[in-house]
């Protein structure tokens, strides 16, 4: 737990130093003033918490100050942390029941979001948990995608099933399921084409992949994880909304958190879309990966 918190905390350095450090300084003032509320609003929006989430957060804080009789700014700090934590919701475990013969996790997201690296990190994470993992390289639209995933599969030591460039992604995942059963693998992680959320035809293709999986394994895919690049800020929120509507995303992987001051986007995704953040990419290496810890995330923004 300590190692996970340290990794997550370190990845929040830019967000903490550029924005939430200023929030902490602001809340070190002697009393709560109208100007304090205005500046707090501006700082939260700057951190990409989002306008809607920020306004609701401030409404909750104002109500809390009245209810609890808070008049000193320094006491507002703990109240802010409590409300931020509440917006992240309660932790929901992934549906990767080890008692199920085969669990299938579908990975979606746009090119450049860190999807391929996240798949490798996820595979390594579950391999450390003694799961038998197989990868499916179903991104057949981008020629280099399969090659990149092959390299990562070799690095983390897991088998992979792929197809020829331009081949039917549905056929690839079908073959991968058969291979997983033959190998007695209990976890299949399937890559999909990195598509823009605005590309209707490609989104329809993704729906077809889900249909194929549901036919060969009851209830599959058991999890559909959307990879989001934290550096995209509010654009990431738009992507998440569209993917959720199109393919029923069950959780989010937030990447490149260490390279941005926009870590507040996590609150907007969790609160506005009610989508749990499952994992956080905290660096470039396979081990730079943390299961999302809401308490550690909020503490890491301030401490």
The H or E element containing residue 224 is strand 223-229
**Is 298:85 a contact under the CB 8 Å cutoff?**
yes
Residue 156: partners with Cβ closer than 8 Å, 6 or more residues away: 120, 123, 124, 127, 286
Rounded Cα gap, residues 139 and 226, in angstroms: 15
SS3 state of residue 101: coil
Q: Is 27 exposed, middle or buried (0-12, 13-18, 19+ CB in 10 A)?
A: buried
- Please, are residues 225 and 252 in contact by the beta-carbon 8 Å criterion? yes
Q: Which of 138, 137, 120 is nearest to 128 (CA)?
A: 120
Going residue by residue through the chain, which has 303 residues, state the pLDDT in tens, using 9 for 90 and above.
Answer: 334 444 788 889 999 998 998 998 898 877 889 999 999 999 999 999 999 999 999 999 999 999 999 988 888 999 999 999 999 998 778 888 778 999 999 999 988 899 999 999 999 999 999 999 999 999 887 767 778 999 999 999 999 999 887 788 999 999 999 999 999 999 999 999 876 545 667 777 888 899 999 999 989 999 999 999 999 988 888 888 888 888 889 999 999 988 888 899 999 999 998 999 999 998 888 989 989 999 999 999 987
Kindly give the interhelix angle for 265-272 and 51-68, rounded to the nearest 10 degrees. 80
Residues 6+ apart with CB under 8 A from 121: 279, 281, 286, 288, 289
Q: How many other CB atoms are found less than 10 A from the CB of residue 275?
A: 21
Q: pTM of the full predicted structure? A: 0.92
State the Cα–Cα distance between residues 94 and 170, nearest whole angstrom: 24
For residue 8, give every residue at least 6 positions away whose Cβ sits within 8 Å of its Cβ, in sequence order, or none: 280, 282, 290, 293, 296, 297, 300
């Amino acid at each position: 737990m300590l190692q996970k918190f340290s990794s997550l905390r370190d990845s929040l350095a830019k967000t903490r130093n550029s924005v939430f450090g200023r929030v902490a300084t602001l809340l070190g003032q002697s009393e709560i003033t109208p100007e304090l509320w205005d500046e707090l609003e501006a700082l939260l929006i700057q951190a990409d918490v989002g306008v809607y989430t920020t306004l609701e957060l401030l409404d909750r804080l104002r109500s809390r100050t009245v209810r609890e009789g808070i008049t000193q700014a320094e006491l507002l700090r703990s109240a802010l942390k409590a409300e931020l934590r509440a917006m992240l919701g309660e932790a929901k475990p992934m549906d990767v029941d080890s008692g199920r013969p085969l669990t299938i996790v579908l990975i979606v997201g746009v090119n450049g979001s860190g999807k391929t690296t996240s798949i490798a990190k996820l595979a390594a994470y579950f391999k450390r948990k003694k799961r038998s993992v197989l990868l499916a390289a179903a991104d057949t639209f981008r020629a280099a995608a399969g090659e990149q995933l092959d390299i990562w599969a070799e690095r983390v030591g897991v088998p992979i099933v792929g197809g020829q460039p331009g081949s039917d992604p549905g056929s690839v995942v079908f073959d991968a399921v058969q291979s997983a059963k033959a190998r007695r693998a209990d976890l299949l992680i399937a890559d999909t084409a990195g598509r823009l959320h605005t590309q209707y035809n490609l989104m329809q293709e993704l729906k077809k992949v889900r249909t194929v999986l549901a036919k060969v394994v009851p209830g599959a895919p058991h999890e559909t994880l959307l990879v989001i690049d934290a550096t995209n800020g509010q654009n990431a929120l738009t992507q998440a909304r569209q993917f959720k509507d199109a393919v029923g995303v069950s959780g989010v992987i937030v990447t490149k958190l260490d390279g941005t001051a926009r870590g507040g986007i996590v609150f907007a995704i969790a609160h506005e879309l009610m989508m749990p953040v499952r994992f956080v990419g905290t660096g470039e290496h396979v081990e730079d990966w943390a299961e999302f810890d809401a308490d550690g995330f909020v503490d890491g923004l301030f401490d």
